[in-house]
Amino acid sequence: MLNAWLPVVAYAALIFTLSSLPDLSPPGHVANSDKAAHLIEYGMLGWLLIRACRGSGMHPPARGVIAVALGLAVAAADEMYQGTVGRNRSLADAAADGLALVIVAVWDAWRSRRPGGRER
């Protein structure tokens, strides 16, 4: 069970490490590219959380609810932390994070219920 959660902890640490960089921004100058980066970043966190919950024996929809709740806690803590290192706190960024987490949880629930879907 611990092996399932270590990647989550490591990835959350990476998120906070990147949040420590005051001038971090996505490459290029595309409007809202930071929101796309948040979708990718927290989509990966959501996948790792779903994987860890599955490894802990949780079944959908409980693992989706737990993954979203834990992911939102990380997102909220990350936004609060950013304000302490000279970066902007953003409700829009947190919303993008939450959207990514919900998408992954819905995908997992759909995948596990479809015919031929594997429940692990």
Contact between 67 and 37 (Cβ < 8 Å) = no
For the beta carbon of residue 65, count every other beta carbon within 10 angstroms: 14
How much is the mean pLDDT over the chain?
A: 90
Burial, 96: exposed, middle or buried (Cβ in 10 Å; 0-12, 13-18, 19+)?
A: buried
> What is the C-alpha radius of gyration for the chain, rounded to an integer number of angstroms?
15
Q: Is the pLDDT of residue 106 over 80?
A: yes
Distance CA 64, CA 70 (A): 10
Digit-coded pLDDT (tens) for 48-89: 999 999 999 999 899 999 999 999 999 999 999 998 988 889
Distance CA 39, CA 42 (A): 5
Residue-range domain boundaries for the chain: 2-14+34-113
Prediction pTM value: 0.89
Q: Residue 12 — pLDDT band, cuts 50, 70, 90?
A: very high
Q: Tell me if the bond preceding 61 is cis, omega within 30° of 0.
A: yes
Q: Residue 119 — pLDDT band, cuts 50, 70, 90?
A: low
DSSP 114: S
| pLDDT of amino acid 22 | 82
